Structure 1
Amino acid sequence: MKFTIILSILFCTSIWIPQNPDLTLDTRKDPVSLKEAAKNHFKIGVALNERQLNGMDDKALEITKQHFNAIVAENCMKSGRIQPVEGEFVWEHADRFVAFGEENNMEINGHTLIWHSQAPRWFFVDDEGNDVSKEVLIERMRTHINTVVGRYKGRVHTWDVVNETILDDGSWRQSKFYEIIGEDFVKIAFTLAHEADPDARLFYNDYSMAKPGKREGVVKMVSNLQKQGVKIDGIGMQGHVGLDHPSLEEFEKSIQAFAALGLEVLITEMDVSVLPSPSNHQGAEITDTFEYQKEINPYTEGLTKEAEQEFHDRYMDFFRLFDKYSDHITRVTFWGVTDGHSWKNNFPVRGRTDYPLLFDRSYQAKPVVKSIADFLQNP
């Protein structure tokens, strides 16, 4: 571990970060590039949406070019978007996504090959609407993965092969993939992806990875894959967090557990929600919904000074943790460019105003951008 003793001391004392940084400091004219600041630590990534890829949001793309050296497809590579009808692939948006990454010398991450959600219904049923056989579903997986990964062989550097198949208690999600094929669908997916592009790095991605049950379930699943000789290069820990959850201690335990498997650890889908969690809701299960209430949408006119400080400090706590494990963490990716692009405005309650990302709705860098950059340059 690089600078192990020094980092351990700093992590415990936190004396190198001001307790009350001046959040009114003007960092907007020429903020330090995050990718440059993090070049000796890990790559800094961001999710791009189809509107941006279609050239309808040049400001977001300029921010991406300045601050990020890795990109992930937010939606355009999900199976329901890229193959909405069996055998009919829609390449327009995915092609633009890959081309943008290549033009700007970025690490390109494909998201996601196999996911129970946002998958087309036809994937799992026959012409009469009945579940297909195990053999048919495997063949559809083969066709989908071979076609998508094959098209971008040597161009997409990493793939989220399987997304969100372990529940918070460590048990298997009862998805159609699991119901029809069983646990082997994960092994099959990774094997097919490796065959389609032997040089691509392959990852498992999931949310709430700081929960002990999920941590144990993922470690068990991945260990079984490794014992069978399946190529899996790393684990993506989705970073959808709030001001008070999860605890840094549990998040750190998961980093340690996944690194102990000898794998890369990615921090994926990072955002910090400042809004109250309805019914103590945590996680990122997209089917979760709660009724709108004014009390849980308190910042429609902007954040208070106290909330701004909490937001800033929460991000810095996580980046101190990420730096501590930078020998294992290879990429930190944010789930959107600006607050206006964030899915958190509508999840798990539609119509709220959230502020979870590094750039505000006016495309301006928040003070935390400079704080992160300064810290990474002078840990």
Structure 2
Amino acid sequence: MSMRRKVALAASAAFIATLATATAQDPTSLKDAYKGAFVVGAAINNAQITGQDSRGDAIISEQFDSISPENVLKWERVHPEPGTYAFDLPDKYVAFGEKHHMFIVGHCLVWHSQVPGWVFRDDKGNFVDRDTLLKRMHDHIQTVVGRYKGRIQSWDVVNEALNEDGTLRQSPWLKIIGEDYIEKAFQYAHEADPQAQLTYNDYSLENETKRKGALALITKLKAEGIPVTSVGLQGHLGLQWPSVETEDVTISDFAKLGVKVVVSELDIDVLPPATQQQTADVSLKVEQNAKLNPYAGGLPQSVQQELAKRYADLFGVFLKHRDVVTRVTLWGVTDADSWRNDWPVKGRTSYPLLFDRNGQPKPAFHEVVRIGKSTEAR
């Protein structure tokens, strides 16, 4: 072997060794990049819970240190009929989190959607009275939260109780029980697991009018001694809305009330808005229109870069408030998993997350990791 060849090989080996050392020293996962600031989570689906999606499971275990259940702990899934609970998948979900030493979230206990009709009606089809519904709520929360006491660390207790104008949503919970249904839900959850973190969770709280309603609600609950630990900003956001300044103000406003903030369901829509309303209401349906699905064949690089900058800017805000923000959870693992693919327009191809449909990290992923690793941000 010539001397030049030996020198080249030695130089190459040295470079590889240096690169390996740097890689070992520098955090390259989301959870490592934000270690000491807040946990980074993902919402996981049935296939990931049961091990059918091995690619997704690998991403979850490598990148995240928290999980939320996309559906398995919603009332219609876990408690479909009176006296009947389906704990097989929830048990697997909790076991998955424990296996990977994760912060485990329960989602959600009281919501107006995905609730079986029997919950609100008697055997003749009439609405039940206040006491009956309170007992059903109490028994459900005691059974579900109690089963995972000390294992699920945080619960989304009440989900989406507010209208866009900040008033209370006219849900069956409100109509039958009254405004104190929210207080009761938190009380029951606290009784079932006094150590669990308890969250009020909602979307579009960046909208000032709705945020004022949420601030008033949390203020009222705190004044009455209700154990509200945190407010969940769902974070179903867009490329333009809300502004970075608005996100900053929103977190600050809730921090002033003495509660923590979690970004509970983060994704960023890159598609044209299907409605003028800033909402994540799952009941919304919009007719198909080719103009609303412009990237069916793939996302242009220019939009990829725009998405990357948007994620970086938002994570910069979250890091700024790391004394208040305790968790940031992406609502899904890859673009293929996202609920936005079919909402509010059936069949749309969406790109709202950090990993693409093939499970590969997008430019947005690298930007988010870069922000987390930044010594300036610390």
Aligned to 1:10: none
How many aligned positions are there?
351
Point out which structure has higher relative CO (alpha carbons under 8 A, 6+ apart).
1
Displacement, 1:31? 8.8
Contact 1:178–1:185 (Cα < 8 Å) also in 2? yes
Displacement, 1:254? 1.3
**In 2 relative to 1, CA 358–99 (structure 1 residues): closer, same or farther, beyond 3 Å?**
same
Secondary structure at the residue paired with 2:156? strand
- State yes or no: 1:109 paired with 2:109: no
Contact 1:31–1:365 (Cα < 8 Å) also in 2? no
Work out which of the residue numbers 157, 165, 179 in structure 2 matches 1:169: 165
Structure-1 separation of matches of 2:246 and 2:339:
25
- State yes or no: 1:263 paired with 2:237: no
Q: Which amino acid aligns with 1:205?
A: N
Structure-2 separation of matches of 1:123 and 1:279:
32
Q: Which amino acid aligns with 2:36?
A: N
- State yes or no: 1:134 paired with 2:130: yes
Structure-2 separation of matches of 1:358 and 1:170:
31
Aligned to 2:40: 44
Aligned to 1:88: 84
After superposition, give the CA deviation of every residue in 1:197-233 in whole Å (9 maximum; x if it has no partner). 0010100000001011111111111111111111110
Aligned to 2:174: 178
Aligned to 1:302: 298
Alignment of 1:247-326 (within 5 A): 247-326=243-322
Aligned to 1:154: 150
Larger radius of gyration: 2
TM-score, normalization by structure 2: 0.91
After superposition, give the CA deviation of every residue in 1:77-110 in whole Å (9 maximum; x if it has no partner). 0001100001100001100000000111000000
Structure-1 separation of matches of 2:27 and 2:116:
42
Aligned to 1:15: none
TM-score, normalization by structure 1: 0.91
Contact 1:82–1:91 (Cα < 8 Å) also in 2? yes
Aligned to 1:368: 364
Structure 2: gaps of 5 or more residues: 1-22
Contact 2:183–2:226 (Cα < 8 Å) also in 1? yes
Structure-2 separation of matches of 1:324 and 1:142:
38
Structure-1 separation of matches of 2:115 and 2:195:
26
Residue identity over aligned pairs, in percent, reads: 46
- State yes or no: 1:232 paired with 2:238: no
Q: Which amino acid aligns with 2:134?
A: I
- State yes or no: 1:99 paired with 2:87: no
Contact 2:110–2:185 (Cα < 8 Å) also in 1? yes
Secondary structure at the residue paired with 2:37? coil
Aligned to 1:32: 28
Aligned to 2:62: 66
Contact 2:199–2:232 (Cα < 8 Å) also in 1? yes
Contact 2:286–2:344 (Cα < 8 Å) also in 1? yes
**In 2 relative to 1, CA 31–262 (structure 1 residues): closer, same or farther, beyond 3 Å?**
closer
Alignment of 1:193-232 (within 5 A): 193-232=189-228
Structure-1 separation of matches of 2:76 and 2:300:
40
Work out which of the residue numbers 31, 49, 52 in structure 2 matches 1:53: 49
Contact 1:31–1:369 (Cα < 8 Å) also in 2? no
Contact 1:202–1:234 (Cα < 8 Å) also in 2? yes
